[in-house]
Amino acid sequence: MRLGEVVGGEYYQNKEVAVKMEIFGEYDVVVVGGGTSGVAAAIASARAGANTILIERLGALGGQMNVQGPPGFAYAHMFNPRGQQVIAGIVEETHNRLLKEGHALPHLKPEWRAGYTFSYVDPDWWGLLMFEMMTENKVNLLLHSLAVDIVKEGDTVRGVIVENTSGRQLVLSKVVVDCTGEGDICVMAGVPYEKRAREHLMRPSIAFTVDGVNWDTVLNYIKENPKEFEFRTHPYLKMSEDEMWKQIKAIKKIEEIGNVPDGWFSITEKGVKNGEMHEFGTIGFFLTPREGGVIQAHFQHSSHVPDCDCTDVRDLTAAEIESRRQAVMAWKFIKKNILGFEKAYITRVTPELRVRETRRILCDYKITEKDIAAARKFKDVIGKDQYQAGGQHMKMSTMLDPNAIYAKDGGSTDIPYMSLVPKNVEGMLVAGKPICTDETTYKRFIVSTMVTGQGAGVAAALCAKKGITPRKLEADVSELQDILLKQGAVLFGTH
């Protein structure tokens, strides 16, 4: 929508019928979407000196960490297989704060887990911490507000229109950061994107968390039945399966195992055949730390809805129904058939789907499989990622693509600033899942979304301060990088 006319603090849309709406406010940086990328972007922008507002459709902040999740790997993959920390910044800061307060586990880095590290946090305390950090950094919040349109002047986005219980409001901006997770604001602005066919999109899930698990029984079963489980070591380690299992069998507490991605194969296969278990997921689990040393099991792979395009609201609605059917069936099966879960009980069900994959926004650079394989470094680096290409959720017992592509020499790949700058529009950045990648290097994992959010937030603040567009900032990112380094980000000096 083209920029209309502002008269006496009110905005008049230029349509055949004029629509008057309140101007909520004018800000240097408007971040749309209060999930993992959005909270990082807002904090980073405010710390860089910008008058920042964060718009969120819910009353909660956190997105896939504590609303649609947590995904089991929150946080994870912060260290490369060489043991070098490649992700820090706001991710490390929040982990440290929660760890000191007893709401996180220390970085888990056993030898056999190198490259697949876990740094678990309590998702609910993490969500509370986000509100603390918004207040600390003087981030303005606009909650319970859905962004429904943008206003443009020529090719430049000048603001976002929201709808809420107060009606329609306009939020004016110098720079907008799209952190919606699906690239919704970019699409409204006319930015081109890519998206796989419905049947190839990764499947969304409803997850659930359970307490009352007899962890000694579970751990003993795992140790005594190695053929029932699929654990992997990073190719860089060149570790034999025998050595891996030797280390697993030496584990004393469930916290040391990190996760059980897939397992109980023969039991699950029998359950599918006799109709007790559905065919669309596994019964592997991750861990959730709670106060007082309590460890809960988090099942995020026990429901997967196939043939679902989560940018189609009909598919999205149907998936909310189907995923819950699958989750109920899976839990009844687990409780009846898996040793150690006989007295366990559900403490939490995610209130909405975790959407794994939708759009990838076309930007000034596209990250590719070749970049991952080469552990490529970029001059305009704003952060790093050490996850492999090909982390695709697949059907039943094999959840991840066995043909994954890893960074060479146990290294990591830089994320370039240009992969956050959308094509065909000015005054905008994108962060989180839909940054510009090819289909196998999709940056859907929490730490990746927060790294790109922090980079986009600082970049937006700089552009607002200098009065330039995000695209013009591409010419010299040295100040952007300096600020990110001061904010604790890892940019240089690692493989």
Would you call the peptide bond into 70 cis, given omega within 30 degrees of 0 as the criterion? Answer: yes
Distance, CA of 346 to CA of 176 (rounded, Å): 40
> Taking the chain, what is the end-to-end CA distance rounded to the nearest angstrom?
45
Q: Which domain holds residue 216?
A: 203-349
> Which residues partner with 172 through β-bridges?
26, 159
Residues 363 and 220 in one domain: no
Query: What is the domain count for the chain?
Result: 2
Query: What is the DSSP code (8-state) at residue 396?
Result: T
Residue 402: inside a domain: no
In the sheet that 208-211 helps form, which strands lie side by side, from edge to edge? 286-289, 295-299, 208-211, 345-349
Residues 35 and 106 in one domain: yes
Distance, CA of 462 to CA of 471 (rounded, Å): 12
CB 308 within 8 A of CB 315: yes
Residues 215 and 184 in one domain: no
- Helices 313-337, 265-274: inter-axial angle, 10-degree rounding: 110
Residues 192 and 278 in one domain: no
Residue 310: inside a domain: yes
Residues 155 and 67 in one domain: yes
Q: Tens digit of pLDDT for each residue in 104-113? A: 999 998 999 8
Residue 222: inside a domain: yes
Supply the Cα-derived Rg of the chain in whole angstroms.
Answer: 22
Residue 406: inside a domain: no
Residue 470: inside a domain: yes
Give 2's Cβ-side CA count (13 Å radius). Answer: 7
Amino acid at 90: I
Distance, CA of 32 to CA of 56 (rounded, Å): 6
Residues 345 and 281 in one domain: yes
Residues 169 and 39 in one domain: yes
Q: Tens digit of pLDDT for each residue in 367-413? A: 999 999 999 999 999 999 998 987 665 554 445 566 789 999 999 99
| DSSP labels, 105-135 | PPPB--GGGTTS-B--B-HHHHHHHHHHHHH
CB 226 within 8 A of CB 389: no
Residues 366 and 276 in one domain: no
Residue 257: inside a domain: yes
Residues 6+ apart with CB under 8 A from 373: 389, 405, 406, 407, 408
Residue 403: inside a domain: no
Residues 319 and 367 in one domain: no
Residue 167: inside a domain: yes
CB 402 within 8 A of CB 415: no
Q: What's the CATH code of the domain at 162? A: 3.50.50.60
Residues 161 and 244 in one domain: no
What does the mean pLDDT of the chain come to? 93
Residues 41 and 184 in one domain: yes
Distance, CA of 256 to CA of 109 (rounded, Å): 9
Q: Which residue has the tokens 């025998």?
A: 242
Residues 207 and 194 in one domain: no
CB 400 within 8 A of CB 484: no
Residue-by-residue pLDDT tens, the chain, 495 positions: 555 555 445 655 554 434 679 999 999 999 999 999 999 999 999 999 999 999 999 999 999 999 998 876 789 999 999 999 999 999 999 999 999 999 999 999 899 989 888 999 999 999 999 999 999 999 999 999 999 999 999 999 999 999 999 999 999 999 999 999 999 999 999 999 999 999 999 999 999 999 999 999 999 999 999 999 989 899 999 999 999 999 999 999 999 998 898 899 999 999 999 999 999 989 999 999 999 999 999 999 999 999 999 999 999 999 999 999 999 999 999 999 999 999 999 999 999 999 999 999 999 999 999 999 999 999 999 999 998 987 665 554 445 566 789 999 999 999 999 999 999 999 999 999 999 999 999 999 999 999 999 999 999 999 999 999 999 999 999 999 999 999 999 999 999
